[in-house]
Amino acid sequence: MESLRSLLIDSLEKYGMPFPVDKRVCSGWARDLPKGGETIIFTSCMYQVEPVVPTLSKFSSMAGVLKGLSSLAKFVKPPKEELDRAYNILNNIINALRKRGINPGYLYEEEPYSGALLLEMGLLEEFTEHAKKVSKILEEHGIKRIITVDPHTHNALTRYGEFIDFKVEVINYLELVRPEKRVDEEFTIHDSCLYSRFLNLRDKYRDMVNESGVKLKEGFLLTGKETSTCCGGPIAGLDRELSEAIAKKRAENLNKLSKRLLVMCPICYVTLSPYFKGEVKDIAEVIL
């Protein structure tokens, strides 16, 4: 754990992320968003860089992944197809917000990382110090409201108030938009554990899915709030074999319901996609 902690802290200090990443990859999706403003979209580069993770499957632990990224940083980047997909998702979110009269700014390369990995690895002192740095950046830019786009970033930022004096409003895009497309297709759904069980957003996005016309195929034991299982992604840093076993089983069970799968988290997407025998789509690709 100590080696992992050192790697994380070193990378955050050098790159502003838990691993080396070209910040132009993070901001390349934004077309005409104003720089800064009182309300901003906050991506934490999650959708943009998460597709890199499968490339690193040969590393057996989170420490190995970070070391591998450090040595390959100049060469490893998300595949163009996956990066284009991530950019499309983020622009769909922006367009849906604008249709609701919300025009957020963006910090581009200055956008900080949320610190989600520190929180989820139990490095609470380090998470507190990182939260202070992020809070200072936001204060310097005069930001009063953050719109998040993924569950891990949203969870981290909404918990800042437990550790520091944090007065910025944090809201998720799912709380602000409505479906923009009429969809006459069948999907099953994999719920983000954070969104569904801890962040009280399950009804928000399910109402939107139903409103869009999507025909959800569900099973109580497979997609119920208290009975569905994790994708396996969050445990990959500690036990990759267990993570893959969970993902394979989860995908196999979901395949019994449909050949199309809806997700709303970039980690769930990259974790389940290799094992789901069919099409995996983010909710923002399908209904926005």
The DSSP annotation for 116-162 comes to: HHHHHTT-HHHHHHHHHHHHHHHHHTT--EEEE-SHHHHHHHHTGGG
Residues 91 and 206 both lie in one domain: no
Residues 231 and 129 both lie in one domain: no
Q: Is residue 181 part of a domain?
A: no
Residues 122 and 194 both lie in one domain: no
Q: Is residue 111 part of a domain?
A: yes
DSSP labels, 10-34: HHHHHHSSSS---HHHHHTT-SSPP
Q: Is residue 180 part of a domain?
A: no
Q: Is residue 98 part of a domain?
A: yes
Distance CA 254, CA 217 (A): 9
Q: Is residue 12 part of a domain?
A: yes
Q: What is residue 255's predicted lDDT score, i.e. its pLDDT?
A: 98
Q: Is residue 269 part of a domain?
A: yes
The structure tokens listed for 221 are 């034991």
The structure tokens listed for 204 are 């928000």
Distance CA 288, CA 195 (A): 18
Residues 167 and 192 both lie in one domain: no
The structure tokens listed for 260 are 């199309």
- Residue 236: phi and psi, rounded to 5, are -60, -35
pTM over 0.85: yes
Q: In the chain, how many domains are there?
A: 2
Provide the residue range defining the domain that includes 119: 2-175
Given 125, 146, 175, the domain boundary residue is 175
Sign of the C-alpha dihedral computed for residues 173, 22, 267 and 180 taken in this order? positive
Residues 114 and 22 both lie in one domain: yes
Q: Is residue 223 part of a domain?
A: yes
Q: What is residue 270's predicted lDDT score, i.e. its pLDDT?
A: 95
Burial group, residue 269, by CB count within 10 angstroms (0-12, 13-18, 19+): buried
218, 257 Cβ separation under 8 angstroms: yes
Query: What count of other Cβ atoms lies within 10 Å of the Cβ of residue 82?
Result: 21
In terms of Cα–Cα distance, which of 31, 3, 26, 10 is closest to 266? 26
Torsion, Cα of 60, 66, 70, 71 (10° steps) = 0
Q: Is residue 79 part of a domain?
A: yes
Q: 40 forms bridges with which residues in the sheet?
A: 105, 146
Distance CA 63, CA 67 (A): 6
Q: What is residue 186's predicted lDDT score, i.e. its pLDDT?
A: 98
Given 119, 149, 175, the domain boundary residue is 175
Residues 40 and 150 both lie in one domain: yes
Distance CA 135, CA 85 (A): 30
Distance CA 2, CA 22 (A): 26
Q: Which residues, 6+ apart, have CB-to-CB distance to 169 below 8 Å?
A: 144, 145, 146
Helices 124-140 and 2-15 meet at what angle, rounded to 10?
Answer: 10
Residues 90 and 146 both lie in one domain: yes
Residues 224 and 100 both lie in one domain: no
Residues 47 and 144 both lie in one domain: yes
Q: 147 forms bridges with which residues in the sheet?
A: 41, 171
Given 131, 147, 175, the domain boundary residue is 175
Distance CA 198, CA 194 (A): 5
Tens of each residue's pLDDT in the chain, 288 residues: 556 677 778 888 888 888 778 889 999 999 899 999 999 999 999 999 988 866 554 444 555 555 555 554 454 578 899 999 999 999 999 999 999 999 999 999 999 999 999 999 899 999 999 999 999 999 999 999 999 999 999 999 999 999 999 999 999 999 999 999 999 999 999 999 999 999 999 999 999 999 999 999 999 999 999 999 999 998 887 788 999 999 999 999 999 999 999 999 999 999 999 999 999 999 999 999
DSSP class of residue 185 equals: -
Residues 80 and 44 both lie in one domain: yes
Residues 229 and 256 both lie in one domain: yes
Q: Domain with 252 in it: what CATH number?
A: 3.40.50
Residues 200 and 277 both lie in one domain: yes
